[in-house]
């Protein structure tokens, strides 16, 4: 075995089969000559009773001295009990992020998440994650990659944060499945963007306009009876959209609505007289279990957004979302003096912190009571009030 030099390697001629020429100075360091004439540097060793080889680079792309240094590194790692050839093979076999997305959706999201959540996850995976890092190896994704993806969508902070949540959960599952080391989630310490929470409540005048618009649409037939009923039920019960959209007749009992599966699990919702009146006025089609019937047999109305946009435009409420009807229900309850805990139970909140966004509205009845009490006391003590002074204090 000669010492491998550029001259000796250049002089090697290709044969009908590939062959190896080994270096005389470093055991296991050699060059492989392919029938095509291509020559690659190799580091060969034994591990687990098997001969393993690591390709170091192509002759001409790297020099003999560079290849010799790489071979020494490989042999050094072998002496430390490592198996570099197996690590390289695992890297090559490692799934891409796109493959992880598919497995995550099939084995976790579809099995553990509700339909609405599945839709949100699917959107984040297909529109934001796969196009950006889908070709990356799962093991190679670093925090900087996640931060760059998050930063790219800074103009839509809500979606950027939801995508970050999906990524974090997905890489947690990658650790569970053994695709990444424990504690290596690249989403850790990537700060979320600040989100402006929308708390749009309909005023008395806006509610009256909406009610009149619903009545007009029902009378002229521009919207279906079931669509009109859905929005009235949302106003009167404070339910989430999907809870009313998929409501079945067998969920309605003497106690109220007995929903077996909501965002926060099974839920019992009180059914006021006004809401029961809406339900009793609805026609029922034999064989269709749903209250808000769709056009096809045994279905419900799957799209209430389009009719809502028509109705809100007609009522002059162009910036109002369907979910704002739920906010309005809550704000009226709190403003009337109902305790926050009771409002949370009516809304089906699993945590009181969710309901606390309405806490400031509880000041209204307190302020009104204070004014009424002070007026009564003022009749007794005769304090003279000055409107201008009151305005200055208020400001």
Residues 6+ apart with CB under 8 A from 322: 231, 234, 241, 304, 305, 308
Q: Six-digit token pair at 321?
A: 């979302």
Ramachandran angles phi, psi of 293, nearest 5°:
-70, 140
pLDDT digits (tens, 9 = 90+) for 149-174: 999 999 999 999 999 999 999 999 99
pTM comes to: 0.58
pLDDT digits (tens, 9 = 90+) for 51-92: 888 889 999 999 999 999 999 998 888 888 888 877 776 666
pLDDT digits (tens, 9 = 90+) for 327-346: 888 888 877 778 778 877 77
Cβ burial of 395 (10 Å; 0-12, 13-18, 19+) is: exposed
Domains and CATH numbers, the chain: 6-93 (3.30.160.390), 97-176 (1.10.150), 204-362 (1.10.443.10)
Which strand (E) or helix (H) includes residue 323? helix 323-335
The answer to whether residue 264 scores a pLDDT higher than 80 is no
- Separation of alpha carbons 228 and 292, rounded Å: 9
The answer to whether residue 306 scores a pLDDT higher than 90 is yes
Q: Six-digit token pair at 89?
A: 């093979």
């Amino acid at each position: 075995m000669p010492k491998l030099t550029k001259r000796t390697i250049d002089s090697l001629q290709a044969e009908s089969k590939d062959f190896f020429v080994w270096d005389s100075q470093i055991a296991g360091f050699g060059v492989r000559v392919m029938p095509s004439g291509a020559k690659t540097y190799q580091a060969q060793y034994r591990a687990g009773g098997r001969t393993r080889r690591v390709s170091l680079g192509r002759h001409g792309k790297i020099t003999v001295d560079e290849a010799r240094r790489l071979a020494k590194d490989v042999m050094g790692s072998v002496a430390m009990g490592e198996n570099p050839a197996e690590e390289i093979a695992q890297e090559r076999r490692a799934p891409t992020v796109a493959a992880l997305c598919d497995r995550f959706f099939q084995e976790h999201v579809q099995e553990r998440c509700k339909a609405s959540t599945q839709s949100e996850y699917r959107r984040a995976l297909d529109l934001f994650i796969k196009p950006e890092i889908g070709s990356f190896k799962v093991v190679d994704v670093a925090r900087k990659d996640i931060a760059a993806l998050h930063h790219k969508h800074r103009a839509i902070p809500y979606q950027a944060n939801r995508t970050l949540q999906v990524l974090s959960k997905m890489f947690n599952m990658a650790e569970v499945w053994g695709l990444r080391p424990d504690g290596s989630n690249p989403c850790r310490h990537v700060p979320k963007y600040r989100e402006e929470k929308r708390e749009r409540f309909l005023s008395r005048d806006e509610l009256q306009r909406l009610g009149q618009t619903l009545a007009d649409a029902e009378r002229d037939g521009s919207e279906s009876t079931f669509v009109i009923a859905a929005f009235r039920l949302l106003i009167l019960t404070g339910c989430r959209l999907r809870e009313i959209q998929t409501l079945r007749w067998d969920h309605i009992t003497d106690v109220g609505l007995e929903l077996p599966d909501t965002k926060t699990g099974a839920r019992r919702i009180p059914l006021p007289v006004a809401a029961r009146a809406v339900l009793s006025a609805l026609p029922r089609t034999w064989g269709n279990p749903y209250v808000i019937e769709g056009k096809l047999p045994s279905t419900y109305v799957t799209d209430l957004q389009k009719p809502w946009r028509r109705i809100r435009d007609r009522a002059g409420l162009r910036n109002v979302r369907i979910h704002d009807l739920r906010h309005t229900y809550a704000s009226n309850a709190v403003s009337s003096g109902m305790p926050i805990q009771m409002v949370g139970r009516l809304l089906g909140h699993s945590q009181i912190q969710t309901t606390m966004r309405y806490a400031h509205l509880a000041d209204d009845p307190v302020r009104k009571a204070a004014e009424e009490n002070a007026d009564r006391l003022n009749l007794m003590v005769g304090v003279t009030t000055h409107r201008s002074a009151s305005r200055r204090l208020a400001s």
